[in-house]
Copies of this chain bind each other. A is one copy, B any other.
Amino acid sequence: MPEYASFKREQLCGLKAKLQKQYESFKSKNLKLDMSRGKPGTDQLDLSLEVLDCINSSESCKSEGGADCRNYGLLDGIPEAKKLFADMLEVNPSEIIIGGNSSLNMMYDTVARAMTHGILGQTPWCKLDRVKFLCPSPGYDRHFAVTEHFEIELVTVDMKDDGPDMDAVEKLVASDSSIKGIWCVPKYSNPEGITYSDAVVDRFASLNPAAADFRIFWDNAYCVHHLREKHDELKNILEALRKNGKENMVYIFGSTSKISFPGSGVAMMGASEENIKSIKEQLAFQTIGPDKLNQLRHVRFFKDMDGIAQHMEKHAEIVRPKFDAVIDCFERELAGTGLASWNNPNGGYFISVNTLDGCAKRTVELCKEAGVVITPAGATFPYGKDTRDRNIRVAPTFPPINELKTAVELFSLCVKLAGVEKLLAADSVTIDSAVVELQSQRR
C-alpha cells in the first residue's frame, strides 16, 4: 500500500468518502465496547477462583509462624507472603512490605509520606517551594496523576526503544535538586510494552542526583506478564544500585492485580532495608496491618514462583489471541499507509499506537461517536497533554475477542479517517497559501 501522504487531493477525497461510508455503517451497529483500561477479562478472573476457596476453617487461618491471620498484627505481612513476593520482585524477604489490594495506593502513600514527613531525615516535600518528578512519556496516567495531585511539577522525558532518554534523565537529576523522583514501568511498560535494557538499568543505577531524597519509583506491575515464548528480561535494579552503594535510591512496586484479581489482589513494595525500616516506622501510625487472610489465600494458591509462572501461561493463552487480533488488524488495515505506527510487545497489557501528528484526539472522538471507548488521547502524557497529539493506548484484554475484533476494526478505520482528514486539511492549507501568493503577485 502506498503511503497516503503521497496521494493526490482527489484520491484523498475519494478515500475519505469511502471511509466515511464504512464509518456510518459502523455507527449504525450501535456498538458499546470498551478498550480504555487494562482490565482482565472474566475468563482471566476465573483462572484464580480457587484463591477464594483456600481458607474455610479456624486452623486454615494460621500463617506458618502460627499467627491467626484473622486477628490484628504483622504490619508488613505474613512470612510466607513476604517470601513469595520477595521472589517475585527479586528482593530479599527483609526488603519487602506487603500491603493491601492496591500498589497504586502504596505509591500514593509513599509520595504522601515524603510530602508530610520527608525521606530518611530529609525535608518534607510540602515544606519545599518546588518539587518536580520526571515522567517518561508516553507513560501511565495514574502515576502522573498522583504527583500532579500533590502539586508536584511533572517534567516530561522522552521514551526511547529501550527505556527513558537517559541522557536527559542524567542531566536533569544531576543539575536540579528539586527533582525528587521518576516514574518508571520498567518491564512491558505502560503503554508501549517495552522493557528497559540492561544499559538503561545500569545508567539508573549510576545516577548522581542533586537531591539526596531522589527516588526511582519502579512500578514492576508486569514483571511476570509474558505474552509470548520470548520473555523480556529486566536487570535487577536493587542489585545494580547496591553494587554502587546507592541501594536507597529505588522503591519497587508490584501486585497480583493482573495475576489474581484487580480488585482483590495483594500489593507489595520492595526497597533497601534502610528504606523499609523507615517506612515501617511511619506505617505503624497508619494501620495495624493489611488483610493477612488475602495474603494467605494467595500463597496457598500460587505456592511459589513456579506456580505463578504456570498461572501466567494460562493468562497468556487467553490474552495472546487478543493482542494478535489487534496486531493483525493493524497490519491489514494500517501497514504501509504511513498513518500510524504501533508496537508488538512480548508482554504486558497494552499496545501503543502513534497516529499522524494531530490525529489522536480526533481518532478517539470518532471511536467514541461510534460507541467504542478508548483511553483519552493525551492521557499517556503529563497533564494529559500530548504536544504532538498522536499517542493512543489500546487495551485489548477486557472485551471478548469477537467484540475486540469489531472494536479494533473501527479503531483502525478511525485512524485512517482522521489521517485522511488531516492530509486534506494540510493540502488545503498548501492550496490556500498558493492562492494567496498568486494573488499578491498579481497586485
Chain A positions within 8 Å of B, measured between CB atoms, are 37, 39-40, 42, 45-46, 48-49, 52-53, 55-58, 61, 68-74, 100-102, 104-105, 108-109, 112, 115-117, 124, 126-127, 142, 145-146, 149-150, 257, 261-264, 282, 285-294
Contacts and interface: CB of A to CB of B under 8 A. Distances in A.
26 contacts: A37-B72, A40-B71, A42-B58, A42-B68, A45-B61, A45-B70, A46-B58, A48-B70, A49-B58, A52-B55, A52-B293, A69-B263, A70-B263, A100-B100, A100-B101, A102-B289, A104-B286, A105-B286, A116-B116, A117-B149, A126-B126, A263-B289, A263-B290, A264-B292, A264-B294, A294-B294
A149 B282 CA distance: 8
Contacts of A40: 71
A102 B126 CA distance: 26
When all copies of this chain in the complex are counted, the total is 2
A337 to B, nearest CB: 34
Contacts of A48: 70
B101 A290 contact: yes
A100 B117 CA distance: 23
Contacts of A112: 112, 116
B126 A115 contact: yes
A262 B101 contact: no
A285 B145 CA distance: 7
A49 B39 contact: no
A60 to B, nearest CB: 9
Contacts of A263: 69-74, 288-293
Contacts of A108: 285-287
A7 B285 CA distance: 46
